[in-house]
Amino acid sequence: MTEVHVSVRNLVEFILRSGDIDNRKGRARDNAMQEGGRIHRMIQRRMGSSYHAEVALRYTADMEEYSIVVEGRADGIIIEETGEVSAVPELSTVEIKPAYTDLVTATVDEIKGTYREIHKIREAVPVHLAQAKCYAAIYGIQNRLRRIRVRMTYCNMETEELKYFHFEYDVRELQNWFLDLIQEYKKWADFQFQWEKTRTASIKELKFPFPYREGQKDLVTYVYRTIYHKRKLFVEAPTGVGKTISTLFPAVKAMGEGMGDKIFYLTAKTITRTVAENTIVLMREKGLKLKSVVLTARDKICFMEESQCNPDFCPYAKGHFDRVNEALYDMLTHTDNYSRGEIESYARKHQVCPFEFCLDMSLFADVVIGDYNYLFDPHVYLKRFFAEGVQENYIFLIDEAHNLVERGREMYSAALIKEDFLAMKRLCKEYSTRICHQLDRCNKELLALKRNCAGYRYEDESSIAAFVRALNSLSSAIDDYLDDHEESPVKAELTEFYFRVSHFLMIHEDLDEHYEIYTKLDEEGNFRIRLFCVNPGKKLAECMQRGRSSILFSATLLPIQYYKKLLGAEEKDYEVYARSIFEPEKRGLFIASDVTSRYKRRSEEEYYKIASYIHRIITGKRGNYMAFFPSYAFMNQVLDQYEQHFATEDGAECLKQEEYMNEESREGFLTRFEGEKESGHAHTLIGFCVLGGIFSEGIDLKNDSLIGAVIVGTGLPLVCSEREILKNYFEKQGDDGFDYAYRYPGMNKVLQAAGRVIRTAEDIGIVALLDDRFLTETYLRMFPREWKTFERVSLQQIEKKISDFWEEKGWSSTEMQEIEK
């Protein structure tokens, strides 16, 4: 029989919620109430032999056509026999058998960790108690008990002080309450059951929406087999392979065979989320029935000018939970595409918070499209799906996976600055002597560390232990103050600081051999302490274990072993290099032998030489070009030389990437490349951009929107303390530290920038690498397969080489002159 699964947590939170959204109640570290694994294990170990920890419970309710399966894991069950009793088999039916027993006394223990002071918790949180009552009902029914007890155990995460709340229930009454809960959920389960039948039928009829390109069918097969075998696949997929459809299509097919309940398409950039959304729309046009949601950040989708999620400020927060289920059912039964526009429309109609509404719609979506942080970030991850910490039948499609290395390092690292503690003391001195005292303690410990630090200095857990103890005390002081002073004039600043302290303490609790702890005195005189996750692979792997299979893909995932190590690969996982569909002769790859971006060679003469290269390259054909530089300073130097000596002669328009560009400015910049050419004459447009910046990856300029990329330098990150720490760490691991810290990340930027040129099989374009280091064996070994053919050039040769390339493609200088006339 078909089963509709729901976790105990999701059941009670979905059906029993009511009232307002109010983020004034509870703060960041109250996430510990769901994440306090250490506290759970500590309490469980202290219990005697009658305590059974992490008891998996499952209840099946027959709904004729299908079954609702409610499942979860009780933190503990205390079983005490009050007389001789034989093992009792679990019941397979809904109703209790007449023969129940008083020979066993059972107590369901629900443990919640918190940073609140225990004496301030005066009653069990209703949703926590409801969760425990569900476990008690399941256990009591299946073991034919007459009565059953529930114990709510709250534990302070810092002091380990405990507080208990005890309840006792008649199992028959508890059964009725539990079955009523399931009955309320039936409306949603009915819809889900019927929808899944419709969805599965459409998936079986679905055909690949395009003629397969060379190698594309193989890639689709690799993805499907990986999902079948419940493993990870690392895919180097050159531009044009069609990696979005080549991963989504087999994942949808696997879902139709029961190998996936939900697909999460995760990426770092908005534009790639849009591509995924459009791909699903395309499959719907081919007959696919699939519900999808695009998750949008709170600040972007909020209807208010300022995101203050409380009923006094926001009318959409007031009574949100009283109205949201009606809004959900309305949208669920009227559309399949939960786009941002649709979410906003239904949220306004029902006057609910669009952000929370969007998250709730993900419960009923077959495909969830969003940022990496919804799976990987320890604060933002989707607790609706991942809080139980167990593996579910999910498929993770991770786009532009090369970005996940640095994103992972940031998500799992933490830093605090000594000067911020002094600033907070000045801010709080009129409001809380206790907070000021604890700030002084923290500052004192940081000062002791600072005295031993010149530049940067490695620390260990013992050397920062006193600071961490002081920080825990500070956290408690702030938590108590904010609990008691909701209208404090310093609430906003104190809450933001509290979040940073909380994050630091959370990261500290989970330090291991993949971290380096260091202190640093920076150029501005600020002293910081940093918990630096040098290798995020283990953390990322733990997150991916929440699902059945993960497909990680990118146009630049070379060298593959480097990325596998840092992205959490296991020995059994797969890797594949998808063949490029492009004809090699449509891309001209030129490497300059007489120019470089090395620091020791930087000079007016070298900047002029690079500007000369740009001038001679664009002479071959008018059109749109982008030039990428290692820094803004370098870019500005070359731009000055180009505008001074060549711009007038070339008749070229220069656009410059600014250091800070809002979304409107970025869109305006790209629109100039995507727009039609000016009427009456050929036009040359050059975008001066920064390597590794917003225009060097994730943008899709097809056909003649971009015909050439000039890449200056090898993209090496600036030498800094953190890069040197990375280098030293990987050298100790037996790897080439310079490659891991500098060369591989730099080459990735180069490959990404070069990938902006050829976007479709019809495109023709050039890539010019202006740095003689690319001609060394070290770099040549890192070239992708499609780069094996290139031309070595000098400044004297480049103009003719470029002209020859375009003439071979049917574009002669005579034709260009005719167009200009």
Report the run of H or E that residue 496 belongs to, with start and end: helix 491-509
Question: Rounded to whole angstroms, how far apart are CA atoms 595 and 774?
Answer: 11
According to DSSP, residue 65 is labeled S
The yes-or-no answer to whether 206-290+366-411+536-581 and 414-533 have a common fold is no
For the record, the structure tokens of 226 come out as: 């990986």
Give the distance, in angstroms, between the CA of residue 516 and the centroid of all CA atoms in the same chain: 23
* Nearest in space to 243 (alpha carbons), one of 576, 566, 540, 541: 576
Work out the burial of residue 775: count CB atoms within 10 Å of its CB; fewer than 13 is exposed, 13-18 middle, 19 or more buried: middle
Three-state secondary structure readout of 594-615:
CCCCCHHHCCHHHHHHHHHHHH
pLDDT of residue 248: 98
Per residue in 14-66, pLDDT (tens digit) is 999 999 998 776 554 444 433 456 666 777 777 777 888 889 999 999 998 99
| CATH 3.40.50.720 is held by the domain 206-290+366-411+536-581 | no
Q: Assess contact for 128 and 152: CB atoms under 8 A.
A: yes
Which candidate, 250, 281, 402, 274, places its Cα nearest to that of 755?
Answer: 402
For 154-171, what is each residue's pLDDT tens digit? Answer: 988 777 888 999 999 999
d(CA 723, CA 301): 36
What six digits make up the tokens of 817?
A: 């002159």
Residues 429-440: tens digit of each pLDDT: 999 999 999 999
Helices (H), 81-155: 126-142
How many other CB atoms are found less than 10 A from the CB of residue 1?
Answer: 9
- Report the chain's terminal Cα–Cα distance, integer Å: 75
CATH number of 584-820: 3.40.50.300
Q: Which CATH class is domain 2-187?
A: alpha beta
- Could you give the dihedral angle defined by the CA atoms of residues 773, 778, 784 and 785, in that order, rounded to the nearest 10 degrees? 110
- Smallest CA-to-CA distance from 476 within 439, 427, 444 is with 439
The values of phi and psi at residue 531, to 5°, are -100, 105
Q: Is the dihedral of CA 701, 658, 693, 636 positive or negative?
A: positive
DSSP 740: I
Contact between 281 and 209 under an 8 Å Cβ cutoff? The reply is no
Structure-token pair, residue 127:
């949703």
Q: pLDDT tens digits, residue range 403-424? A: 999 999 999 999 999 999 999 9
What residues does each domain of the chain span?
2-187, 206-290+366-411+536-581, 301-365, 414-533, 584-820
pLDDT for res 37: 62
Which string of DSSP letters, residue by residue, matches 20-31?
---TTSS-GGGG
Regarding the domain delimited by 414-533, which CATH topology (the fold level of the hierarchy) does it fall under?
A: Fumarase C; Chain B, domain 1 (1.10.275)
Note the pLDDT of residue 698: 77
Map tokens 């740009």 to a residue: 614
pLDDT at 600 over 70: yes
Helix, strand or coil, per DSSP, at residue 157: coil
Q: For 690-738, write each residue's pLDDT tens digit.
A: 999 999 987 888 878 999 999 999 999 999 999 999 999 999 999 999 9
Q: 522 pLDDT band (50/70/90 cuts)?
A: confident
Measured in whole angstroms, the distance separating CA 537 from the mean position of its chain's CA atoms is 14
Q: What pLDDT score does 97 carry? A: 42
Could you read off the pLDDT of 447-480 as tens digits, one per residue? Answer: 999 999 988 999 999 999 999 999 999 998 998 8
